[in-house]
Amino acid sequence: MIRKLKRTLQYLCIALTAMTYSSCNYLNVDEYFNDMIPLDTVFARQELLERYLWGASYLLPNEGDLYSNSFGPYMTATDECLMSWRSSEYAGTFLQADQVTPFSGYYPMWDRYYQGIRKANTVMTRIDECKDLATFDRREILGLAHFLRGYFYFHLLQLYGPVPLLPDQPLDVGADLSELCYERNTYDECVEYICNDMEIAYDYLAASRPSNQITRPTKYAAAAVMSRVRLYAASPWYNGNSVYASWKTSDGRNFISQEYDNRKWALAAEAALRIIQSDQYRLHTVARGQGNVEFNGGGLDPDVDAAYSESFPDGMGDIDPYRSYADMFNGETQAAQNPELIYSMTLSTNATKIALPLTMDGWNGCNITQVLVDAYRMNDGSDYNIDEHPDYYQLMTETDKEFSGYLLNPSGGSTNNGAAAVVNMFNNREVRFYATVAFNESYWSGESITNTSEKAARTKQVMHYYTGENGYKGPNNPEDYCLTGYICRKYVHPEDNARSGAGGVIKSKTFPIFRYAEILLNYVEALNNLEQSYTLGDSVVIERDPAQMVKYFNMIRFRAGLPGITEADAADPQRMQELIERERMVEFAHEGRRYHDVRRWGIAMETENAPVRGCDVETTANSEAGRQRYYRPVNVDHEYAQHTFSQKMYFWPIPDEKLRQNPLLVQNPGW
């Protein structure tokens, strides 16, 4: 066992690749250099030191891999999503089926993250050996090293829960076994360690980056990590949760604190407020009429409703709500032009292919569930309940309804005798619904194809997600079909077409790891949960302030073309929490936030055990009776929709191999 443990720790100190200093994206690898080069040589020259540090950054997960080959189950194991496939490529689906064990081998990130931690520690402990390092460069390198170390620990924390915090001095792999094994720290200790690293990174890193370094973290990326981790730590599952009363360290400390500490919400609020008060960021908006694309529907009309005619952020009178939201994700707005992005990376093209129709060489299988569809409001802020709208399945009377470049109910596009066939339940929904959800009779333009012989057959598609039609399974693609009647189109641009042989192109896109909308909602939620005022740091007073909550919550609402909430709403903490939870579900749909939100709120047993619901895709919808059956939600009758959730699934299991290598480690409860 000792020999095996030492060999494993040797792997921890050997990163396979590193990045050159000349690369504009410090998370991409342009060329490789041998990381076995003696460390004395590495720290003798600034260029090699920087390349060594980039090698650590290469070990970060590609957070733009949302679905296939992702770094965690965060998109494929939630109630907002149902994948059409169950395989190791979408390993989160095995969690939903209770087919994960400590022996499974899915998401093997433990060693990788600790390799990155060791490299960051090595930089911090040996940086003074580099004599040609200027003071400015030294601060930058140290700031990045602290950010990386804290961020690796954050990734470990959100996947496994509390983990061992290693000494700052890199471990000597030749030491005795007793010196190489560490037990897990408590959740709060991990949080404080991460935040301490991020505070140092905040002090050392630049406030902004030039466009050729857009994916490098700034001081506000470090602050955003603190905002998220502080919010999680303050939330009910990790703050005084008696479920874990018997889960303790070897010296009797609780891994999850058993004493509720309301001050944690103040710390979360302060972390978010730091970014808000920096004036470095604002919500992404597109002006009304920009690019000669007029907003004339799909949301409140400020020309009619004077209450919302004010300029943003006090209203939505001067913005295009649809494009303000959609263009952040579909590639229309580039990262350098998006003032909402705090930290980002390139989005995998699979996030687009997984939604595109088969006729565009897509995979036709990233399903949205009914619970997410129902979370979207009407454009006047009201709910849509089909029991209160008996005409839900009746056809819209408006054809070729267009707003902001989005086409709803195209004429001549269906199998229903050439007539438009979008039903009333999809008319006049809030704009984020149209930007995110493709439903039966949705229009896909896919006009990047240049091959004229294929253009007619491979573009301007209206998809029918029911039996026997073009969105249903075919003999060559028996699993590539929509199981719920809804597809996620959030990461699809109107021009996107995966038919590359015919000239089709998928537009490059950015995935927002942290964006300003999250910071605003973090701040509102933290304030909402305060029970008293707190004075932090340099006399910063944090208290529950309904006016502040309304101000920042309504920025999100107005950007989406929705009416705002009132101070009467904000005065009721329970009512406000319900509004926050629903708003986060909609605003961050299919961005990976939902997985963590339902866990930290302690509601995963309810949300993840609920039946998966959607349209009845096994019927037809080309007649009035068929539409009535198809659109009334049903429990999805498919083996992949049979979900189960137990308490152990709040944390991912630590691999059994790691437990055998380190006898001081204990497994997560239930595994």
Distance CA(204)–CA(195), nearest Å, equals 14
CB 667 within 8 A of CB 654: yes
Q: Which of 371, 387, 385 is nearest to 612 (CA)?
A: 371
Alpha-carbon distance 234 to 534, whole Å?
Answer: 14
CB neighbourhood size of 316 (10 A): 31
Tell me the per-residue pLDDT of 199-231, one tens digit each, with 9 for 90 and over.
999 999 999 999 889 889 999 999 999 999 999
For residue 639, which of 121, 207, 94, 246 has the smallest C-alpha distance?
Answer: 94
Q: State how far the Cα of 324 lies from the Cα of 434, in Å rounded to an integer.
A: 12
Q: What percent of the chain has pLDDT over 90?
A: 83
Q: How confident is the model at residue 7 (pLDDT cuts 50, 70, 90)?
A: very low
Is residue 411 a part of any domain in this protein?
Answer: yes
Question: What's residue 637's pLDDT?
Answer: 95
Confidence band for 136, pLDDT divided at 50, 70 and 90? confident
**Using CA atoms, how far apart are residues 663 and 652, in angstroms rounded to an integer?**
19
Structure tokens at 64: 């733009």
pLDDT average, residue stretch 444-459:
94
Structure tokens at 608: 């993840």
* Structure token digits, residue 166: 């290693």
| Collapsed DSSP state (helix, strand, coil) of residue 141 | helix
Q: Distance between CA 215 and CA 64 in Å, rounded?
A: 12
Work out the number of other CB atoms within 10 angstroms of the CB of residue 210. 10
Is residue 2 predicted with pLDDT exceeding 50? no
Backbone torsion region of residue 51, taken as left when φ is above 0, otherwise alpha when ψ lies between -120 and 50, otherwise beta: alpha
DSSP 8-35: HHHHHT--S----TT-SSTTS-SS---T
Tokens of 140: 């930058």
Phi, psi of 83 (to 5 degrees): -80, 150
Torsion sign, CA atoms 479, 484, 488, 489: positive
Tell me: pLDDT of 289 over 90: no
Cα distance between residue 589 and residue 518, in whole Å: 12
Q: pLDDT band at 411, cuts 50/70/90?
A: confident
- Amino acid letter at 495? E
CA angle 133, 134, 136 (to 5 degrees): 125
CA distance 212 to 418: 49
Whether residue 38 is predicted with pLDDT greater than 90 in this model: the reply is no
Asked if residue 528 is part of any domain, the answer here is no
The closest alpha carbon to 489, from 400, 569, 373, belongs to 373
Q: What is the pLDDT of residues 307-362, one digit of tens each?
A: 678 999 999 999 999 999 999 999 999 999 999 999 999 999 999 999 999 999 99
Over pLDDT 70: what percentage of the chain?
Answer: 90
- Return the structure tokens found at 342: 């705090």
What does pLDDT average to over the chain? 90
Q: Is 442 within a domain?
A: yes
Question: Residue 165 domain-assigned?
Answer: no
- For residue 94, what pLDDT is reported? 97
- What does the block give as tokens for 536? 């932090």
Lowest mean pLDDT among 37-51, 92-106, 630-644: 37-51
Closest CA to 277 of 235, 239, 227: 227
Kindly report, residue by residue over 562-616, the tens digit of the pLDDT. 999 999 999 999 999 999 999 999 999 999 999 999 999 999 999 999 999 999 9
Q: Are 269 and 527 in contact (CB under 8 A)?
A: yes
> Cis before residue 73, ω within 30 degrees of 0?
no
Q: For 125, which DSSP code?
A: H
Q: Count of CB atoms within 10 A of residue 605's CB?
A: 14
Does any domain span residue 262? no
- For residues 205 and 146, what is the distance between their CA atoms, to the nearest angstrom? 10
What is the tally of structural domains in the chain? 1
Tokens found for residue 442: 């949705």
pLDDT of res. 172: 73
Whether residue 245 lies inside any domain: the answer is: no
Only one residue has tokens 């990790």, namely 238
Specify if 378 maps to a domain: yes
How does pLDDT run across 49-83, given as a tens digit for each residue? 999 998 899 999 999 999 999 999 999 999 999 99
- DSSP string across 149-191: HHHHHHHHHHHHSS-----SSPP-TTS-HHHH--PPPPHHHHH
> Helix-strand-coil percent breakdown of the chain, rounded to 5?
40, 10, 50
Under a CB-based contact definition with an 8 Å cutoff, are residues 587 and 377 in contact?
no
Cα Rg, the chain, nearest whole Å = 25
Q: Is residue 429 domain-resident?
A: yes
Whose tokens are 């095996």? That residue is 4
pLDDT at 476: 81
Average confidence (pLDDT) over 438-458 = 94
Q: How confident is the model at residue 274 (pLDDT cuts 50, 70, 90)?
A: very high
Q: Provide the domain limits for residue 474.
A: 350-508
- Torsions phi, psi for 65 (to 5 deg): -85, 85
CA distance 535 to 199: 18
User: Which DSSP symbol is given to 420?
Assistant: -
pTM metric for this prediction: 0.93
| Whole-number pLDDT of residue 296 | 56
pLDDT of 34 above 70: no
